[in-house]
């Protein structure tokens, strides 16, 4: 992924998006590196938390993008609600700033603004 690709940061993760080659359904990848998490248990927990948060917010994902989530070390101390809130903010940022302004994408932003 290039440096100019859409991205958003939170205390728990960094998300990068890239235009997809397969429009219609967003693909998602998760990374928890050995450099950040020494134990496999920690890497697995970080990815499991991110998967849960993405499932909760999947309607905010633009079908024009593929997403990659990079876990940060603070994710291991995150609560479920705090993680979900961070995921909503990050995905809304990408949707507002970079996604095409289609009626479907605008409806997603409005729906989650309340």
Q: Where are the domains of the chain?
A: 7-111
Q: Average pLDDT, stretch 23-33?
A: 89
Q: Please say if the pLDDT value at position 76 is more than 70.
A: yes
Q: Is the pLDDT of residue 2 over 60?
A: no
Q: Which fold has domain 7-111?
A: Ribosomal Protein S5; domain 2 (3.30.230)
Mean predicted confidence (pLDDT) in 45-69: 92
Q: How confident is the model at residue 111 (pLDDT cuts 50, 70, 90)?
A: low
pLDDT for residue 73 is more than 90: yes
Say yes or no to pLDDT of 16 above 90: yes
Over pLDDT 70: what percentage of the chain?
83
Separation between Cα atoms, residue 79 and residue 97, nearest integer Å: 27
């Amino acid at each position: 992924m290039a440096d100019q690709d859409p991205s958003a940061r939170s205390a728990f993760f960094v998300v990068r998006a890239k235009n997809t080659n397969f429009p219609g359904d967003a693909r998602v990848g998760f990374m928890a590196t050995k450099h950040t998490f020494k134990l496999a248990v920690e890497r697995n927990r970080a990815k499991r938390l991110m998967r849960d948060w993405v499932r909760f917010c999947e309607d905010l994902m633009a079908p024009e993008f593929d997403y990659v989530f990079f876990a940060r070390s603070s994710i291991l101390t995150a609560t479920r609600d705090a993680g979900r809130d961070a995921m909503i903010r990050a995905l809304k940022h990408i949707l507002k700033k970079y996604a095409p302004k289609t009626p479907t994408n605008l409806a997603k932003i409005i729906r989650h603004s309340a």
